[in-house]
A and B are shown apart, each in its own frame.
Chain A
Amino acid sequence: MTGMRLSVILGAIVAIGVLEPPSALAQRERDGEREQAQSRIDTTFTFSRTGVVDLTQISGDVIVTAWERGEARVRAYTERGRVRSNLSSSRISVNVERVRGRVGDSRFEVSVPVGVRVIARSTSGDVSVRGTRGQVDARSTSGDVEVTDATERVLLESVSGDVRASQLTGEVRIESVSGTIEARDVTGDVRAETTSGDVSLTRATSKSVYVATVSGEVEYEGNIDAGGRYEFRAHSGDVRLEIPENSSAQFSVQTYSGSLDTEFPLTLQPGQRTSQRPRRFEFTLGGGSARVTAESFSGDIVLTRRARSSR
């Protein structure tokens, strides 16, 4: 049996040698691309600022930091598994392979030039990406995800861990199942959703915001842009909005069994009762150019003014 397996492996190696044209091999060598598998890596090499970093962990943390140098440093180790890497001047791919079904604790620490695109995943570890100022796709199943200073397209996900982000610019999408979502200093379109966690957006500057949770709470502190659309939804959690007092927006606020507490002037329509269900209020501030929707089934909705000077 062992001999048969050996012959299969040898056959595969021969086949690779036969099937891959020499020019392709030469090209790969010119690109400096090397596939490796070992328990530990620590290497530094020239890396493009428009390159892509793709890191996949099973049981351990992924940490990506950025620097101004035009090179990358990759440090990775695993206790029982094997670190597989594929490194070139435009792409870094590192993941951990199980050995006899086991992998043990692992850790990836990668430093890259500012501007690279980062894809980072861990099943049970934390994922941290700081200062890359490029696209980031960071996900963990049970660990936390923390990202600062990312741009263009930012996708952050965790199942049971928390997601914390700051200084994001561009199209931002954050999802969690039971973890908390906290995002600060976000500029751009934001979509944040969780099932049982809370969602907090602070110092947001956006024309399009969608925040939803089922049993968690929603907090938004940010601008209301003329012509923007803002949607905040919860089922059993409260929705709290702190918005500029000089906002220009049409508001639609509804709760089935919760209450409404607002610092903004509210005029009831003829025949409208505050006790009827669902409790639904519409009012307009300024010219009403933006649209704001805040809804909760059983949670309260709280609207507070933010003085212009507080930002």
Chain B
Amino acid sequence: MMTHTINCGTFDDRLSGYLEGELSPGEQRAAEAHLASCLRCTALVRDLDAIRADAGALPELSPSSDLWDGIARRIEAPVVPLAAPAAPIFVVAGERRRRMDRVWLGAIAAALVAVTAGVTYMLTIATSPRREEIAVSSPAVVSDTARLAIPDSPFPTDTAAPHDSGAPTPGSAAQNVVNAPNAPTTATYSREIDRLRTIFTRNRNQLDPRTAAIIEANLKVIDDAIAQSRAALAQDPASRFLNDQLNNALDKKLELLKTAALLPQRT
């Protein structure tokens, strides 16, 4: 029984069939043989499997009842006769490529939905039972991707006075303490930022170099803001203002990485 070897391009073309189990036995063997020798495609399939598993674990959401009116209006946009249409020229070439682009875009979009929903879910789980208590008693944050729970009050009281002495310096052990109630949240943020960073790194060569450089430069701007906030927090760990600053910077980093992951390919 002979197995034809395939390259990454062919594997991409057959990816949706592979994931759906719709390949012929020969194509299936070729795809598996290719996966056994290709790190890029193996990672891709693993990521897509993880996304599918994560998405499957999300709670079922019901759209609000007033959503349908807007959808129906768009579907039922009135049609009026078209005057003098130009002669049609049907084109098939390129359709497959665009279909794959849509598959990729859909996969990335699904990943981002899963990321957003996952982070929101984890934040809800981590903060909802004892929000006030957490806000008062968990000042220390600390990994690059941690987030603290902040109550809803529009004008929170800044509880801390500056520490007199012995304040931890940036990068000291105190900064690396993770409070137990926030550990799942911390891990979620860390995982999602790392995942989005991986997508961006993987796609970087497909982007316009200037755009990629701008993204990198702005990630650096945000990382500087994170570092400054953390350094200040080390001096004043209970400051809600500084926690807000850190949280905003972390959210911004997540948003920028999402934007970067969805950027179109270079011209």
Contacts and interface: CB of A to CB of B under 8 A. Distances in A.
Given A48-B77, A159-B263, A214-B225, A89 B154 contact: no
B242 interface: yes
A196 B79 contact: no
A159 B162 contact: no
Q: Which of A13, A37, A47 has the most CB of B within 10 A?
A: A37
Nearest to A212: B248
A145 interface: no
Interface residues of B, number: 55
Nearest to A50: B77
B245 interface: yes
Nearest to A31: B79
A229 B228 CA distance: 28
Nearest to A74: B86
Q: Is the interface of B mostly helix, strand, loop or mixed?
A: loop
A166 interface: no
A11 B83 CA distance: 33
A293 interface: yes
A223 interface: no
B11 interface: no
B221 A196 contact: yes
A233 B248 contact: yes
Interface stretch (B29-37, B45-53, B125-133, B211-219): B211-219
Interface of A: 9, 12-13, 31-38, 41, 43-48, 50-52, 58-59, 70-71, 82, 84, 87-91, 97-98, 103, 123-124, 141-142, 159-160, 175, 177-178, 193, 195-196, 212, 214-215, 229, 233, 235-236, 250, 252, 254, 256, 276-278, 280, 282, 291, 293, 295, 297-298
Interface of B: 74, 77-94, 98, 154-155, 158, 161-162, 208, 210-211, 214-215, 217-218, 221-222, 225, 228-229, 232, 236, 239, 241-242, 244-245, 248-249, 252, 255-256, 259, 263-267
